[in-house]
Structure 1
Amino acid sequence: MRINITKTGWLAAAGILSVTQLVAQTPTLNEVKPFAPDTEYRTWSIGVHGGLLNQSNLIGLRRKFDQVENNFGYGLYVKRQILPGFGIQAEYVGGKVSGVRENNGNSFETKLPWSVAVSAHVTLANINWRQHQGLIKPYANVGLGALGFEPSSEINGVTTDYDQTTKLFVPGGVGLKFGVSNDIAIDLGYRLNLVQSANFDGSSHGGSKDIFSYAHVGVEFALGDRSKPFLANSNPVSAMQKEYTAQYDELVAQKATLDAQKAENEKLKSQLERLYADLADDDGDGVANRYDKCPDTPEKTKVDGAGCPLPEPKAPVVQQITVTDEDRRVVDEAIQNLEFDLGKATIRATSHASLNKVAALLIEKNFSLKLAGHTDNTGSMQTNMRLSKERAEAVKAYLVSKGANPSRIEATGYGPTQPIASNNTAEGRQQNRRVEFTLY
């Protein structure tokens, strides 16, 4: 298959258009610290490409057949990235090469069933040094490989077919890779291939080694965990600059925070100094000078809130309380005359006169009185406890109503728990139903 120059132009234009559309997409960066180990990156990639095979070359050399014919070529490769700018690449290329001599019409056609080469791949630079990940990366490669080819020549109308031959060849080229994402790069390349044979074009005339070129457009795909960046896209210098800038910004922010803290500390120090001056206590009496109205108080003197000495405490007056026999007789009479309605805490009127005397005694002599209510064992314990308490409280209420101090009267109910006689007789039960008065 022969491809003329017009078709070649359309192919190149289509390739450039595709690259332009893809480059318009900004690649997404995955951040990795500078000098991170290989395990933090993806280091393997594969690529496929197609393009033009011919005997033309950019350095002006042509071998024997001066009329250039373009033929379709294709290939694929596997690459292991060793450093951000260096990798090892194993590549396969196939297709055919043909040419014609203008002066006599002699021609050749050589089929390339296969070729395998291992090349060193060097990324020269990022065109935009200010970008952390440049979109355009020039590269160069050179290697060594084996080439299987089947030449066929037509000289002076005689066609000669040769058997397939395998020879060493040296591929070397340059190109541009357009990084469109972490995973994909567009590859525009041009490569010269020096075949270690003079019969690659079916003619050993002149004895010089043959050469052919391959211009191609391809796509490279990074392999591995997509959460990791591709090592070939790494820019260590830019990464170090970026990390340094981040650290510098962090230090600037820390310094600003520290300066603000220092200013705040100075402010607090000034406030504390003023507060200390306000709280100074020269005479040590516990009252600050600012509020001390008696600033020369002797040490250990007890002072009031104004810093002045407190008056000497007077000895408490102890009131002697003496209960006389007459006092006890008044109380005993009240006990003897105290009567309640049956089963109730209502004091009968016959008891009021003697209780009035007890109230007058409490008021006059400021005595304290303990009232203890008791019952017999007739009825339930709950009822008796309640009734004894209520009767003691009834006596207290009556005395308070006559002017006695309620805080000096204590009323307690004990129910049938403290009998003074047997509950087996009516007389004994009568004695147990009582309210005891204790005067003190």
Structure 2
Amino acid sequence: MKMLWKSAIAAGVVAASLSSAANAEEEKGFYVGGNAFYTQVFDADGTATVEAGGVLDGLPLLGDLLGGLLGGTSGSANFETSYDEDIGYGLTLGYKFTGPWRAEFEYRSQENDIDSVDSGVASFSSDSTLETTSMLGNLWYDFNMEEAIRPYVGFGLGMANVDTGSGDDDVVIGQLGAGVSWFLSPRLALDIGYRFAMADDPSYENGGTKVDSEYGSQSVMAGVRYNFFDAQYGVQDEDGDGVPDESDQCLGTPKGVQVDSVGCPLDGDNDGVADYLDKCPNTPAGAKVNAEGCSIDSDNDGVADDDDVCPNTPAGERVMSNGCAEQQSVVLRGVNFELDSAQLTVNAETILDSVATTLNDSPGFDVELQGHTDSTGSDSYNMNLSQNRAQSVKNYLSDQGVSSSRLTAKGYGETQPVASNETRAGRSENRRVELKVVGQDEGVMMEEEVYMPSDEEDEDPYNYMPEDEAADEEEAADEEMMEEEAAEEEAAEETSYDYDYDYEEESSTEEAAPAEEEESSSDAAEEAEDFDYIP
């Protein structure tokens, strides 16, 4: 029996080592089972040998047979043993791998009565019993893994102790098997199968008598198996969201969470954060959000980055609804004007409607509306044009309900460029209207410099142009140089704008006025490329 237990331990080690190869996926884990066997032991041929002086007494199976055959002396005799069919039992401990394989340790005990012993010359009945105790390591392969009924095949190898009552022997035993597992629930299965077993020839020695025999059997069995995991079969829905696992693109959804047709949690605002995790469920489409579904506010000023036109506000500063604080400014991109005038375009008025909304939503702030030009044209012309355009923006915002006491219009002409005036793109950047937050509203009208045209000038202040006669000789020389540069630029860049300068070298100060107007027209044509303001 010592050998048998050593082999049992070895079989257990093999099963454990196989189980360690399993990976962490769905259907896998340990199980236990109990089986009943109805076993037929095949008739076995054997040889009994009695040495000189051997004792036949105490051999319940062969004593009478050998005594009759050998006359109580030494010698040997051949015989065949017949066995009755009987019931035995078994216990199993197994491990189900991910996939079709199972490793199993099996303990089985079986008793079969010895019916008779026949030497060919004489036959004797017997009341002895053949007891077989075996321990095996089995490996089974299951079919139809997605079904409740799963056929299987496999084999086992181990040790058996065969005891006839006259002696016993530990032998190597192997078996082949097949069967069907029928899952009554994900954890409980019926097991019905067939086993065919063969062992090494057992040998017994007792009192100088040696018996060599054979062992083989076949069994039908029925049992139950309990899993410590849930078997997966039929339509699987592991997360219980109502979408089968084979169609579920978001496995593992928490219980009770509403999902769409492919098993993914609903995301009403399409911000990439599921509704059940979204603390800001109405985020505007396309907005960048954090892990909680709320719009990102990098400078922590209370205005989301997507709406913040001043994204680097210092910590703690009070801001307007567009995210701008005191001493911060933003270019009103898209606020353009008609050619050579301060008359707003239709698109500019649309942009300023949004600016007015921002200002009305931020009543505690005063702002300065700044007009800027490029360097084309005289200083005085640019200063006047920028002032008039800033005033035009103020007038429009006032008409939209913004208190004029909160607004200052100021022209800066060409004095604050933000890009080079040597290129068309740079000049386009320099022609702009900016909104600068200048302080907190204290209910006091701010002073501003407003250009007022004289009675002799155009009655429409938006179309005001300074008198050419007021330009001195230095301005005329500057205008002459700019006309030449504009002509060269037109030829080099092959622009679609038609400057059409008609300049004569000996022109008078009166003739300089149309040239200056044409220069301004060129400015206005480029100003159509101004910027967009996103409130």
TM over 0.5: no
TM-score under structure 1 normalisation?
0.38
TM-score under structure 2 normalisation?
0.33
- Structure ranking higher in helix proportion: 1
